[in-house]
């Protein structure tokens, strides 16, 4: 496949990324923890959830717009935080943010992005959330929050499922690390992808821009990524989160929620939205899929705050299924990442076009002309329990 614009599915974009990128880079984006059971379960749950369509409802005109935290979006979708995109393609963070802005969609910038908070605000103006990992260095952590506030990000996303990093065995087998540690295997992998390599040589190795200065690191990549990993704070608890709630006066979104009791407690604390997420299967392997966790969390929060679903979105029908099971919207990570790392803004836009076109067709075939007409009766109940 020469161009992602020829892709007819997100899987086609994934295969285009696999072809373009060195194996160790692709596996870093594509892989999960340990045996990747949860990674696969996120997709399998959508496969096992069958639709029960309605007919004769008049579906000539379809409205895919939806409200997410008080703003109308063209799709019930926000871009999930995805770190290190620049290792796939220089400028991929900005490209993805621009593709989202063109559709009035929310773009979430990762703490571990290869573009800074300020660069996104300047070069891709639109609706932005900033995703913060919890770091031991609290002065540095709060400085990131202050920078997001100064750059007028409308939401702060706290990722709570990363007290320690997951065991991602593909990375171990590929001997992959950030910064790159060249050895014969990695060097051969890089040289086998000359277009990617020439781009890296021409533009320089990307930097995790928002982490510059962590633990005294100067501009450069030496030990920067490993420093970030060492600085995750496993002691972070409910009291710490309450301090963040009191400090940040805009929208606070909590990502990484899988248990209904935790979701209810977050509502009581005053958080503004919850993202049901298992980190794309990259953290705790054998955790349940997000689609299976969703209904109990929706029931627990009782519509007091919006609930978004993250993990495994690859089809427009996946978006419909998540909404039918109670989500207010979804977040996409890998689906748009694959397009962005292959062909920048055009690739990211094409990924969003695929998802939108599939959602429209699925809504028409299910008899729903608006998002609020996507209801639980469109799901075959006993199939979803698998």
CA distances to 149, 162, 223, 308 from 330, in Å: 24, 20, 34, 5
Neighbouring C-beta atoms of residue 218, cutoff 10 Å:
8
Of 141-155, 222-236, 318-332, 363-377, give the lowest mean pLDDT range. Answer: 222-236
Average pLDDT in the 31-51 region?
98
Position 177 pLDDT exceeds 90: no
Residue 216: pLDDT band (50, 70, 90) is low
Active site residue 128: no
Position 1 pLDDT exceeds 90: no
pLDDT confidence of residue 218: 47
Average pLDDT in the 340-350 region?
97
Q: Can you list the domains of the chain with their CATH numbers?
A: 4-379 (3.20.20.70)
Average pLDDT in the 237-243 region?
98
Annotated catalytic residue, options 90, 193, 279, 350: 279
| Residue 39 token pair | 């990674």
Position 102 pLDDT exceeds 50: yes
Instruction: Find tokens 């913060």 and name the residue.
Output: 132
- Contact present, 106 and 79 (Cβ < 8 Å): yes
pLDDT confidence of residue 175: 84
Average pLDDT in the 130-155 region?
96
Average pLDDT in the 160-179 region?
88
- Contact present, 244 and 269 (Cβ < 8 Å): no
- Contact present, 126 and 108 (Cβ < 8 Å): no
CA distances to 70, 189, 190, 200 from 184, in Å: 52, 9, 10, 18
Query: CB-hemisphere CA count at 13 Å for 385?
Result: 2
pLDDT confidence of residue 178: 74
Average pLDDT in the 92-106 region?
98
Position 312 pLDDT exceeds 70: yes
pLDDT confidence of residue 179: 72
Compute CA 172 distance to the chain's CA centroid, rounded to the nearest angstrom: 23
Average pLDDT in the 222-227 region?
42
For residue 158, give every residue at least 6 positions away whose Cβ sits within 8 Å of its Cβ, in sequence order, or none. Answer: 131, 132, 134, 241, 244, 252, 253, 254, 255
């Amino acid at each position: 496949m020469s161009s992602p614009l020829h892709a007819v599915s997100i899987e086609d974009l994934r295969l285009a990324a696999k072809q373009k990128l060195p194996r160790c880079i692709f596996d870093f984006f594509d892989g999960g923890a340990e045996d990747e059971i949860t990674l696969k379960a996120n997709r399998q749950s959508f496969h096992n959830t069958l639709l029960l369509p309605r007919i004769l409802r008049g579906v000539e005109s379809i409205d895919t717009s939806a409200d997410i935290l008080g703003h109308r979006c063209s799709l019930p979708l926000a871009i999930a935080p995805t770190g290190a995109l620049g290792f796939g393609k220089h400028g991929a963070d900005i490209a993805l943010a621009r593709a989202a802005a063109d559709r009035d969609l929310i773009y979430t910038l990762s703490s571990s992005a290869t573009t800074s908070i300020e660069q996104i605000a300047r070069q891709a103006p639109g609706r932005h959330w900033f995703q913060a990992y919890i770091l031991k260095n609290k002065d540095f952590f709060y400085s990131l929050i202050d920078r997001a506030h100064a750059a007028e990000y409308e939401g702060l996303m706290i990722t709570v499922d990363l007290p320690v990093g997951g065991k991602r065995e593909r990375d171990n087998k590929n001997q992959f690390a950030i910064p790159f540690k060249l050895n014969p295997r990695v060097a051969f992998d890089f040289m086998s992808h000359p277009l990617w390599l020439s781009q890296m040589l021409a533009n320089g190795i990307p930097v995790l821009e928002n982490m510059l200065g962590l633990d005294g690191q100067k501009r450069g990549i030496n030990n920067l990524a490993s420093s970030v990993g060492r600085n995750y704070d496993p002691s972070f608890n409910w009291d710490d989160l309450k301090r963040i709630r009191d400090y940040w006066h805009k929208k606070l979104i909590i990502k990484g929620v899988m248990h209904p009791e935790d979701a209810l407690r977050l509502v009581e604390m005053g958080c503004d939205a919850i993202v049901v997420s298992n980190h794309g299967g990259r953290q705790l392997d054998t955790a349940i899929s997000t689609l299976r966790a969703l209904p109990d969390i929706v029931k627990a929060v009782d519509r007091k705050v919006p609930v978004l679903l993250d993990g495994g979105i690859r089809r427009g029908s996946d978006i419909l299924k998540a909404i039918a099971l109670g989500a207010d919207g979804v977040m996409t990570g890998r689906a748009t990442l694959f397009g962005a790392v292959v062909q920048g803004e055009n690739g990211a836009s094409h990924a969003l076009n695929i998802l939108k076109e599939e959602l429209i067709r699925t809504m028409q075939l299910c008899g729903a002309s608006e998002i609020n007409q996507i209801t639980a009766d469109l799901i075959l109940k006993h199939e979803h329990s698998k």
